[in-house]
């Protein structure tokens, strides 16, 4: 898949702010205001407003009335556990439904994503590893192509995949975990797939 090509200014701002939240350049509780972000990126407030709404929809920021938004606080342990269970249920359902439909082209796309994740892990680029992680799992949801399932997944997955709550001890472990998931997909092995998903999503 190579580099992500963003089609709109709003998508570019969304991606930039998302990475800054992940690597904690924007820390929990930090204020985000349309005016200051517009000035920073040299754009009108329209695409900034759209980007902030998307970040809010995925739980990465929360509204503060007229004051704008603030970066979301870490999840409480019991809430994080619940979201992980829901996310795992969704991904098992989606990937099992698709298991016989993955093509060589799909496998090649996923391999390209993992090549990027491997490179990021070697360079100790946490945000890059996280971006590849998201893209890998998003690919499954996009292939399944159901708006309701996609929104349920995104509303929780982004929060539990934020860097502060990252599930692997090292960045390279994340890459290796996704290699095992892809291997199970390639072999069309649902038992191994479920085991690897459970090991990865925790």
| Assigned domain for 2 exists | no
135 lies in the same domain as 158: yes
Q: Looking at 8-150, which runs of residues are DSSP E strands?
A: 31-32, 61-63, 69-71
Give how far Cα 119 sits from Cα of 122, 143, 189, Å: 5, 25, 27
85 shares a domain with 54:
no
On whether the CB atoms of residues 47 and 8 are closer than 8 A, the answer is: yes
Is 4 domain-assigned?
A: no
Same domain, 88 and 186: yes
| DSSP structural state of residue 165 | G
Domain boundary among 31, 46, 71: 71
Whether residue 170 sits in one domain with residue 90: yes
For residue 138, give the nearest of 178, 91, 180, 191 by alpha carbon.
91
> Could you list the residue range(s) of the whole structural domain that residue 185 is in?
77-200
The DSSP 8-state label assigned to residue 2 in this structure reads: -
143: domain CATH number is 1.20.120.530
- Domain co-membership, 132 together with 86: yes
Q: Do residues 98 and 174 share a domain?
A: yes
Whether the model clears a pTM of 0.85, i.e. scores above it, the answer is: no
CB 68 within 8 A of CB 158: no
pLDDT for 186 equals 95
Q: Which residue has the tokens 């390279």?
A: 172
Q: Which of 52, 71, 90 is where one domain is finished?
A: 71
Looking at the fold, whether 29 and 62 belong to one and the same domain comes out as: yes
Which residues of the chain carry a pLDDT beneath 70?
A: 1-6, 161-168
User: Bridge-partner residues for 31, per DSSP?
Assistant: 70
Q: What's the domain count of the chain?
A: 2
Given 71, 92, 109, which residue is the final one in a domain? 71
Average pLDDT, the chain: 87
Kindly state whether residues 36 and 130 are assigned to the same domain. no
pLDDT at position 103? 95
At residue 63, what are phi and psi to the nearest 5 degrees?
Answer: -70, 150
Are 37 and 56 within one domain?
A: yes
pLDDT digits (tens, 9 = 90+) for 114-131: 999 999 999 988 778 888
Statement to judge: residues 131 and 187 lie in one domain: yes
pLDDT computed for residue 36 by the predictor: 94
* H or E, element range at 112: helix 104-122
**Inside any domain, residue 156:** yes
- pLDDT at position 6 is 46
Which CATH number do you get for residue 23?
1.10.10.10
């Amino acid at each position: 898949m190579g580099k992500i090509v963003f089609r709109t200014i709003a998508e570019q701002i969304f991606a930039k702010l998302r990475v800054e939240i992940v690597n904690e350049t924007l820390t929990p509780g930090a204020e985000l205001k349309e005016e200051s972000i517009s000035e920073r990126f040299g754009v009108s407030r329209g695409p900034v407003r759209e980007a902030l709404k998307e970040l809010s929809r995925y739980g990465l920021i929360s509204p503060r009335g007229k004051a704008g938004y603030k970066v979301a606080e870490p999840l409480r342990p019991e809430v994080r556990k619940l979201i992980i269970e829901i996310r795992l249920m969704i991904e098992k359902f989606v990937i099992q439904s698709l298991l016989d439909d993955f093509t060589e082209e799909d496998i090649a796309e996923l391999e390209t994503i993992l090549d990027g994740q491997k490179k990021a892990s070697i360079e100790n680029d946490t945000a890059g590893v996280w971006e590849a992680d998201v893209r890998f799992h998003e690919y499954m949801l996009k292939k399944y192509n159901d708006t309701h399932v996609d929104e349920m997944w995104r509303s929780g997955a982004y929060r539990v995949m934020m860097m502060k709550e990252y599930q692997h001890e090292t960045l390279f472990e994340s890459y290796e975990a996704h290699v095992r998931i892809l291997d199970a997909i390639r072999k069309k092995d649902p038992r191994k797939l479920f085991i690897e998903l459970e090991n990865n999503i925790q």
